[in-house]
Amino acid sequence: MAAITYDIAGVHFASQTELAKRVKEELAKRPRDVVFLSRFFRDIVNQHHPEVIAAGQESTGEFEILTWGEQERRGMKTARKFRGGIVVRSRFMPLDQWQDVTVYPWRRGTFRGACAEALREKMNQRLPSPTDLDKCAVTRCPQRGRRLEYHHITPTFATMFAQVWPLITEEERATRFEYNKFKKGAVSLEDFIPDDHPAILALAALHESNTWQWLCRQHHVAAP
């Protein structure tokens, strides 16, 4: 099978791997928390992002890469959702609105995977929040407080999700809950899932008797 090639901002990329490498380099060298112009990112978003194209929107070429601290300072939902990661945003027209957007639009996972993450985020809003006195459950780990994360011990969240996945209807799967990236106030898929959806209610019931602990981000990622 022939490699997928790209022509972005006047530069030819012989493969997706080659383009991804350039995107990574561009992200690394761009400033944080300030607006900058990028024809390269603009062309990626306008030419290859399916949700942007479907909505009839176009990036103006104005971008900003926000650190976790800046997201938190602005009170953005992404500060909780991405747990310390950067967020790339661009200004879009004709909506004349800033919106978070990936500059790797070809990395589209399955809807099942996206739905699992969306339901996890919906549940996080119902689960306990760490206090300044809480600390990571890993011995000698110094991390404590608001950056701790809720870790499912038993059953795992994956096990819970497998039980509630059948409650997502075929129509909801086909329409992705009518997800619209440019709906005002929306950040991602979880914003389109009703709070009283049967899958949410079933997850809430499963959390009434599960075992869990606080972990810092590093140990949460490494946990089984």
Closest CA to 100 of 117, 79, 114, 83: 79
Domain that holds residue 38: 6-100
Q: Which pLDDT does position 200 carry in this prediction?
A: 97
Q: Which pLDDT does position 83 carry in this prediction?
A: 65
Kindly state whether residue 1 falls inside one of the protein's structural domains.
no
Tens of pLDDT, residues 119-158: 998 999 899 999 999 999 999 999 999 889 999 999 999 9
Tens of pLDDT, residues 30-69: 999 999 999 999 999 999 998 899 889 999 999 999 998 9
Tens of pLDDT, residues 155-201: 999 999 999 999 999 999 999 999 888 887 777 899 999 999 999 99
Residue 133 · residue 217 · CB < 8 Å: no
Does position 1 have pLDDT exceeding 90, yes or no?
no
Tens of pLDDT, residues 10-19: 999 999 999 9
Residue 48 · residue 5 · CB < 8 Å: no
CA torsion sign, 71 to 41 to 6 to 93? positive
Tens of pLDDT, residues 89-121: 999 999 899 999 999 998 877 899 999 999 998
Q: Which pLDDT does position 65 carry in this prediction?
A: 97
Residues 138, 212, single domain; the answer is yes
Out of 76, 100, 124, a domain closes at 100
CA distance 169 to 172: 5
Look up residue 140 and give its two tokens: 């000698």
Residue 150: its H or E element: strand 149-154
CA distance 30 to 146: 28
Tokens 């990036």, located at residue:
59
Out of 67, 100, 133, a domain closes at 100
CA distance 181 to 149: 27
Residues 115, 217, single domain; the answer is yes
Out of 47, 81, 100, a domain closes at 100
List b or e across 19-37, with b for residues whose CB sees 16 or more CB atoms inside 10 angstroms. beebbeebeeeeeeeeeee
